[in-house]
Amino acid sequence: MRAKYSIIFFVVVVTAISFYPGKRISAQQILPPLKEVFKKDFLIGTALNSMQIYEKDAGPVKLIPQQFNAVTAENVMKAAEIHPQWNVYQFEMADKLMDYAARYRMKVNGHTLVWHSQLPVFVQHMKDADSVMRFFVDHINTVVGRYKGRIYSWDVVNEALEEDGTLRRSIFLETLGEDYIVNAFRLAQKADPKAKLYYNDYNIEQPLKRAGVIALVKKIQAAGVRIDGIGIQGHWRYDAVPLQYIEESIRAFSSLGLETMITELDLSVLPGPWESNEADINKTARWNERMNPWPDALPDTVAQIQAKAYASLFILLLKYNQQVSRITFWGVNDGQSWLNDWPIKGRTNYPLLFDRIFLPKHAFYSVIETRRK
């Protein structure tokens, strides 16, 4: 029944666009909803910025609730935003996000409780373990406690591993020791026993870093603390999606009793300044004309390759739809993507399913088509 439904929508949309090329925006109203096409497989999520949460950006007002059934805050739940001073919490934007999600019946993933980046200024240079611990405990208890029973899941700890699978030399590791991750999950579990608890990181499909995640999970589980899943961020290049490693990771995490999510999905079409795949926001590179090959528009040939890459990824994830519980795109459209300014500021990237005026790209249709196979 679903396949028939998807095919009908697909034909209608393609026909509308073919006959009315100058009015493609009207076709948005009859797009097949991603959340419906993959309803029996996994949640389809997106990251929202402040303008979108307030619904002040006219382009995605209808598109977001039409297409997605899960949301993650791009920034407003990070510690620097929500907890700027010792005894000061700013919940206005996070509350708006919760209200937005409730209005459109979307599940919210809280992002993120413990992360070495985007920390409040008052925390960044702390050397005293007691002070860091006080912040650590108060932050988790207060933020998780506020949304207890309303939030679906939390990225409890974010990006705590180096590329070789060892623990990152963060302020938390240096002041609180190796058990800080176990303690973070213990605190979050106590603050909201019903929320799903996840570890989130980039490149953890790669064998060395994956081994670090597995060791971390086993340590948490051995301590009698709950961890429900692993978020693979999915910041990949359109011509180098590591499908084999992703599949191996899904199997490995599943063997530990864990869900897998693809949590921050985007497929960059621009050349990278480094040989390795990076997603550390603290690393940047200088401007170079060659690193911004398509400032005005994405060539159709490149868009088609990107579409095939998205399709290959979704075909794999559908194979494991009992193990993969959510796919979240890191942004609604190309113009919103963080990859326009990272790692080189001012570039024009095209990593998502919708273009800068919220029209579907080849990649959108290629993803829809995977449900027919």
Mean pLDDT comparison of 260-274, 279-293, 302-316, highest-scoring range: 302-316
What is the average per-residue pLDDT within 23-50?
Answer: 83
List the single range of 152-156, 163-167, 341-345 with lowest mean pLDDT. 341-345
Rounded to the nearest 5 degrees, what angle is found at the Cα of 73, between the Cα atoms of 159 and 55? Answer: 160
Q: Is 159 a catalytic residue?
A: yes
Q: How far apart are CA 223 and CA 207, in angstroms?
A: 25
Is 272 inside a domain boundary?
A: yes
Is 10 inside a domain boundary?
A: no
pLDDT confidence bin for 75, thresholds 50/70/90: very high
- Calculate the dihedral angle through the C-alpha atoms of 337, 338, 344, 348, rounding to the nearest 10 degrees: 10
Phi, psi dihedrals of residue 75, rounded to the nearest 5°: -140, -25
pTM score of the predicted model = 0.89
Q: Which two tokens stand for residue 116?
A: 């070495």
Q: Which of 74, 205, 259, 264 is catalytic?
A: 264
Amino acid 283: pLDDT: 56
Question: How many domains does the structure of the chain reveal?
Answer: 1
Is 215 inside a domain boundary?
A: yes
What is the average per-residue pLDDT within 180-204?
Answer: 98
DSSP 8-state secondary structure symbol assigned to residue 272 = P
pLDDT confidence bin for 30, thresholds 50/70/90: confident
Is 119 inside a domain boundary?
A: yes
Amino acid 21: pLDDT: 35
Q: How far apart are CA 266 and CA 350, in angstroms?
A: 9
Amino acid 286: pLDDT: 61
Phi, psi dihedrals of residue 191, rounded to the nearest 5°: -70, -30
Q: How far apart are CA 19 and CA 163, in angstroms?
A: 50
Is 105 inside a domain boundary?
A: yes
Tokens 């791009």 belong to which residue? 74
Contacts with 51 (C-beta within 8 Å, 6 or more apart), sequence order: 57
List the single range of 70-79, 145-154, 287-296, 313-322 with lowest mean pLDDT. 287-296
Q: Determine the straight-line distance between the first and last CA of the chain, rounded to whole angstroms.
A: 13
Rounded to the nearest 5 degrees, what angle is found at the Cα of 20, between the Cα atoms of 18 and 25? Answer: 105
Is 117 inside a domain boundary?
A: yes
Is 4 inside a domain boundary?
A: no
CA-nearest of 28, 17, 83 to 60 is 28
**Residue 311's CATH number:** 3.20.20.80
Is 7 inside a domain boundary?
A: no
Range of the domain at 146: 36-280+287-370
DSSP 8-state secondary structure symbol assigned to residue 71 = E
Q: How many CB atoms lie within 10 A of CB 179?
A: 13
Strands 235-237 and 259-268, sheet pairing: parallel
pLDDT tops 90 at residue 125: no
pLDDT tops 50 at residue 2: no
Q: Which of 36, 55, 159, 162 is catalytic?
A: 159
Cβ atoms of 373 and 315 closer than 8 Å? yes
Chain segment 207-222, per-residue pLDDT in tens: 999 999 999 999 999 9
Q: Is 264 a catalytic residue?
A: yes
Enclosing H/E stretch for 357: none
Chain segment 338-347, per-residue pLDDT in tens: 999 877 888 9
Which residues is 109 bridged to in the sheet? 72, 153
Q: How many CB atoms lie within 10 A of CB 107?
A: 17
Amino acid 287: pLDDT: 54
Amino acid 345: pLDDT: 87
pLDDT confidence bin for 280, thresholds 50/70/90: low
